[in-house]
Amino acid sequence: MKRYDINRFLVVLGLILAGLTGCDSMVSSAIDSGPTYWSNVLKTEPSFKVRLQAAVLLGRSGHPDALKALIDCAKTDDDDSVRRAAIDALAQLKRPRAIVELVTLAASDPVPMVAAGANVALTSFDLLAHQEFVLAAFDSDDVRVRSAVLKHLPLPLNDLARAVITKSFGDYPEVYEQAQTLLATMPRITRMEWISEGLRSAKAPIRAGAVRALGRDGHRENLAVVIEVFEQEDEDLTVKDAAAYSLRELKEHLVEGDFIRDATEHSETHMRMRAIRVLEAIGGRKATRTLVLALADEKPPVRGRAAMALAKLKVIAVLPKLEEMVRKPLNEPIKLHLTQAVQDLRAAMATKQ
């Protein structure tokens, strides 16, 4: 028998005996062989039983050099039981850098045994003390992983989480909802600081999520900011839609009568148009009646804005009126707006039928 075969036979025999009998002297002897040696066994040994025992030994070693081999094994080994053993070993090793990989495996691995093991392993770490390693997994392209990062963030949140929460404003709904749940646990003054940071983002989806969060927050003082965003002509459409949502959420704090009055009676054209935009956002029977009245405004821009608002609210009953307005020379400056409103209402009517 070749020397290599004899050595391999002794390694296998020692590992199996150590695993089966739990003999401390054998385990100690095996560990003393060094993490480099057992990392190589974990990578190259054909027998899954031997690889499994090597993973156990590396976990017991407590040596930082075992970390990479165990992570690689947990992610790529051909045998699921070996992967699970590597994950258990990472929990025993307790190196914070493993948290990133464990969060990823817990959220996205298709093997239930592996995903469940990663979840259990995470409970062995002090995630509050090592929050930065949880947050590091948020760079993943997998939405499940990003959602899991927020799920595993320990409370109370500290400032390390601010950037991730801000990014979450522009993420998929499951990530956004997790972020909102976490925000709700914070003191309101801190919560508003983080939302304000989202409002200043250069990315429209993040700004939109932040504006929506203002509506969900439900406080009266958010109203002025939401209206300001809603009135910005050059703002992205998704952000303006989010502001409209928040205006509806904050409707109880609006003095609706003021906007109803201003839409038809204010002396300044821009103030009448401002009121029309707000009424469009909040909707309702009173708002609709006022918008219909605004179709008779003396200023074409106000009439056009009212027509677009009624189309947005899908008030099909005004379609004949708008068709008539399109034909009148008096409305030539706003003909494009009226035509678009007519087309939108016809489409809404077809969908309804």
Using CA atoms, how far residue 182 sits from 165, 174, 179, 348, in Å, is: 9, 13, 5, 38
Cβ–Cβ under 8 Å, residues 349 and 319: yes
- For 67, residues 6+ apart whose C-beta sits below 8 A from its C-beta are 90, 93, 95, 97, 98
Query: What mean pLDDT, rounded, does the chain reach?
Result: 88
Reduced to 3 states (helix: H, G, I; strand: E, B; else coil), residue 181 is helix
Cβ–Cβ under 8 Å, residues 212 and 246: yes
Phi, psi torsion values for 219, nearest 5 degrees? -90, 145
pLDDT tens string for the chain (353 positions)? 444 443 454 455 455 444 444 444 444 445 456 788 889 999 999 999 999 999 999 999 889 999 999 999 999 999 999 999 999 999 999 999 999 999 999 999 999 999 999 999 999 999 999 999 999 999 999 999 999 999 999 888 989 999 999 999 999 999 999 999 999 999 999 999 999 999 999 999 999 999 999 999 989 899 889 988 988 888 999 999 999 899 889 888 877 778 889 999 999 998 999 899 889 888 888 889 999 999 999 999 999 999 999 999 999 999 999 999 999 999 999 999 999 999 999 999 888 76
Phi, psi torsion values for 218, nearest 5 degrees? 80, 5
Dihedral over alpha carbons 168, 173, 174, 180 (to 10 degrees): 50
Q: Which of 291, 198, 182, 292 is nearest to 239 (CA)?
A: 198
Cα–Cα distance, 132 to 149 (Å, whole number): 11
- For 343, residues 6+ apart whose C-beta sits below 8 A from its C-beta are none
Cα–Cα distance, 81 to 83 (Å, whole number): 5
Cβ–Cβ under 8 Å, residues 106 and 115: yes
Percent of the chain at pLDDT exceeding 90: 71
- For 299, residues 6+ apart whose C-beta sits below 8 A from its C-beta are 269, 272
Nearest 5 degrees, angle CA 26-CA 32-CA 35? Answer: 120
Which segments within the chain are labelled E, that is strand?
A: none
Reduced to 3 states (helix: H, G, I; strand: E, B; else coil), residue 97 is coil
Cα–Cα distance, 272 to 268 (Å, whole number): 7
pTM of the model as a whole: 0.72
Number of alpha carbons in the 13 Å side-chain half-sphere of residue 213:
31
Number of alpha carbons in the 13 Å side-chain half-sphere of residue 302:
25
Model confidence over 245-282: pLDDT tens digits? 998 898 888 777 788 899 999 999 989 998 998 898 88
Label residue 204 exposed, middle or buried (CB < 10 Å: 0-12, 13-18, 19+).
Answer: middle
Using CA atoms, how far residue 60 sits from 39, 56, 216, in Å, is: 13, 6, 49
H or E stretch covering 188:
helix 188-199
Indicate the angle between helix axes 3-21 and 24-32, nearest 10 degrees: 140
